[in-house]
């Protein structure tokens, strides 16, 4: 199952989920020149070099589709090539699409992102139209080869506008969503004890995470908010279970690490690797300190 592959990848490579949210301005000028001035082609060349340099120290990759849609048809070609390259190299590709529709529309989204040109291993979904918005994806989960992460508690300040509203049962909206994610994912649990239906849980708020982790032991977390958004290694450690049960997303801190160094533009992939390794070490240290 894909969740077993992800669990094993975390165990072998660490918890880093490298976000390939590759804006054109992130790409060094020489890469653009070598691509004949083709920005979308340069984005893929940049991604490919970073993937090659980080594959053994990165549990998975998350590709935010908006960065590629903004470049038009050529950008979507770069998106498709990036997904394909990750999967051909044996990596795990999460398509960050945040779809949240129902019925036949959701079924078409599922087909679009689990088959064909845009095929990914996992996708991100929004449940705020109701849990029936997830049902069309379930056919792809039954075989165990595909999975998803459902938005539960996000890392942005505006998360409190809706996700922290009180429910009639005395909890918060995001807690109710987590419980429903766990129930929906019950039939799709792998040998690792986690379901291929996971949850997005931002690490910028830690006050209730211990309770959520205990209430939903089978839910694997995709954890945004580390680094640039304020999440710390010590915060992330609270979301994990024995160093597993989640992946921690980082994009800019890894992709732009090369800008700290005089020779960075020519060695951008090496410096991306160095930051991924450093992030794994810092988080592993925080887990050990918390034991």
- In angstroms, rounded to a whole number, what is the distance separating the alpha carbons of residues 41 and 22? 12
Is residue 240 pLDDT above 70, yes or no? yes
Q: Sorting pLDDT into bands at 50, 70 and 90, what band is 242?
A: confident
> What is the reported pTM?
0.94
Sign of the torsion angle spanned by Cα atoms 259, 264, 269, 275: negative
Contact (Cβ atoms closer than 8 angstroms) between residue 244 and residue 10:
yes
Is residue 210 pLDDT above 80, yes or no? no
CATH code of residue 253: 3.20.20.70
Find the mean pLDDT for residues 48-59: 98
- In angstroms, rounded to a whole number, what is the distance separating the alpha carbons of residues 126 and 103? 14
Place of tokens 């039954």: 142
Distances (CA, A) of 52 to 20, 68, 89, 137, 203: 13, 20, 9, 31, 28
Quick one: pLDDT at residue 229? Answer: 63
Find the mean pLDDT for residues 252-260: 96
Ranked by mean pLDDT, the top range of 182-191, 234-243, 282-291 is 182-191
Quick one: pLDDT at residue 79? Answer: 98
Of 250, 270, 280, residue with least CA distance to 54: 270
Higher pLDDT among residues 171 and 11, named by residue: 11
- In angstroms, rounded to a whole number, what is the distance separating the alpha carbons of residues 168 and 153? 18
Residue 99, beta-bridge partner list: 125
Is residue 289 pLDDT above 80, yes or no? no
**Mean per-residue pLDDT over the chain, rounded:** 93
Q: Sorting pLDDT into bands at 50, 70 and 90, what band is 291?
A: very low
Is residue 232 pLDDT above 90, yes or no? no
Poorest-pLDDT segment among 35-49, 100-114, 169-183, 249-263: 169-183
Considering the candidates 13, 62, 81, 98, report the single residue annotated as catalytic. 98
Based on the structure, what is the number of domains in the chain?
A: 1
Contact (Cβ atoms closer than 8 angstroms) between residue 137 and residue 184:
no
Tokens of 47: 């991604």
Higher pLDDT among residues 160 and 63, named by residue: 63
Find the mean pLDDT for residues 163-170: 83
Percent of the chain with pLDDT over 70: 96
Range of the domain at 102: 2-290
Question: What element of type H or E holds 62?
Answer: strand 60-64
Catalytic site residue 81?
A: no
Higher pLDDT among residues 242 and 191, named by residue: 191
Q: How do 16-19 and 147-153 pair as beta strands?
A: unpaired
pLDDT digits (tens, 9 = 90+) for 213-227: 888 999 999 999 876
Is residue 182 pLDDT above 60, yes or no? yes
Question: What element of type H or E holds 136?
Answer: none
Q: Sorting pLDDT into bands at 50, 70 and 90, what band is 230?
A: low
Find the mean pLDDT for residues 36-50: 97
pLDDT digits (tens, 9 = 90+) for 81-133: 999 999 999 999 999 999 999 999 999 999 999 999 999 999 999 998 999 99
Tokens of 21: 């949210």
């Amino acid at each position: 199952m894909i969740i077993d592959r992800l669990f094993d990848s975390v165990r072998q490579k660490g918890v880093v989920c490298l976000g390939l949210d590759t804006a054109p301005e992130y790409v060094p000028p020489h890469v653009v020149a070598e691509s004949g001035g083709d920005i979308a082609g340069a984005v893929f060349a940049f991604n490919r070099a970073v993937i090659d340099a980080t594959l053994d120290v990165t549990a998975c990759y998350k590709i935010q589709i908006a960065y590629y849609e903004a470049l038009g048809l050529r950008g979507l070609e770069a998106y498709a090539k990036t997904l394909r390259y990750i999967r051909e190299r044996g990596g795990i590709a999460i398509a960050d699409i945040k779809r949240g529709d129902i019925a036949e529309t959701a079924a078409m989204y599922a087909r679009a992102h689990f088959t064909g040109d845009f095929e990914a291993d996992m996708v991100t979904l929004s449940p705020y139209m109701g849990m029936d918005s997830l049902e069309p994806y379930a056919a792809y989960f039954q075989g165990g080869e595909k999975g998803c992460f459902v938005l539960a508690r996000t890392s942005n300040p505006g998360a409190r506008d809706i996700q922290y509203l009180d429910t009639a049962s005395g909890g918060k909206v995001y807690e109710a969503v987590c419980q429903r994610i766990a129930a929906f994912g019950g039939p799709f649990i792998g040998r690792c004890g986690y379901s291929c239906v996971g949850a997005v849980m931002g690490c910028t708020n830690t006050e209730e995470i211990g309770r959520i982790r205990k209430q939903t032991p089978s839910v694997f977390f995709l954890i945004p908010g580390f680094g640039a958004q304020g999440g710390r290694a010590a915060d992330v450690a609270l979301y994990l279970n024995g160093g597993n049960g989640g992946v921690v997303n980082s994009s800019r801190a890894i992709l732009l690490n090369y800008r700290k160094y005089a020779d960075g533009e020519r060695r951008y992939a090496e410096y991306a690797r160095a930051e991924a390794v450093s992030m794994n070490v810092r988080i592993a240290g925080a887990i050990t300190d918390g034991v």
